Structure 1
Amino acid sequence: MVLACAQGAENQQVAAALKIDKDTVGKWRRRFVEHRLAGLRDAPRSGAPRTIDDARIEEVIVKTLESVPEDATHWSSRGMAKASRLSTSSVQPTGQPTRAPPVDRGRSARRRDGGASRRAD
């Protein structure tokens, strides 16, 4: 977008070529003119800053994918939250990108009535 502007194209032409709003082109052109390359960085987002770092998120994802809890065939959000000492709402988003199926380690599935049944493959 900025390169097209630098080659002399008007905001409307760039917007049409990229299928975006001309005001968006104007915003980025203005930011580049005022701040050069630093102006192309995304501005800070509103809202509270993250309280859980990437390493902690990775721990939860790895644990979800590579282990199973003692009393179940796969991790629930609540179970993972408790095991990781995080809130359930903090754990839930980590499972969404992977959509990981339960890990099958040849264990019996636990039924609600307390009995165990072998899972069919």
Structure 2
Amino acid sequence: MVDLSQYLPILLFLGVALVLSSAFVFLPMIAARFTGAHKPTAEKLTEYECGFPAFEDSRSQFDVRFYLVAILFIIFDLEAAFLYPWAVSVFTLGWTAWFSMMIFIAELALGLVYAWKKGALEWE
């Protein structure tokens, strides 16, 4: 027979999470109704991010090169995130850490050269 009392802390945690998440969703909506912030006007419904109405469909497809540049940015951003802790502790880690990081940087540089030669960084 399975003792279901072991699941009580998990159920309590899920219950508290459900109550808190519901409160964070519904309480601002209720407060907006009571304070009058919910009344839509023409000024409230205008575009505020770019300043002019959208002239194309918002669901239009992007060019693949946009995603390639974004992926390359993330890769080299992560490289910078890995370089800082390594640079702080490289003198205590020894030559193995230094050679490992040089191999890592060489692989990334090889990937950058490959992307450059394939034209992934060129934009029209």
TM-score by length of 1: 0.25
Specify which structure has the bigger relative contact order, considering alpha-carbon pairs within 8 angstroms and separated by 6 or more residues.
2
Q: Which structure dedicates a bigger proportion of its chain to helix?
A: 2
Q: TM-score, normalised by structure 2?
A: 0.25
Q: Which has the larger radius of gyration?
A: 2
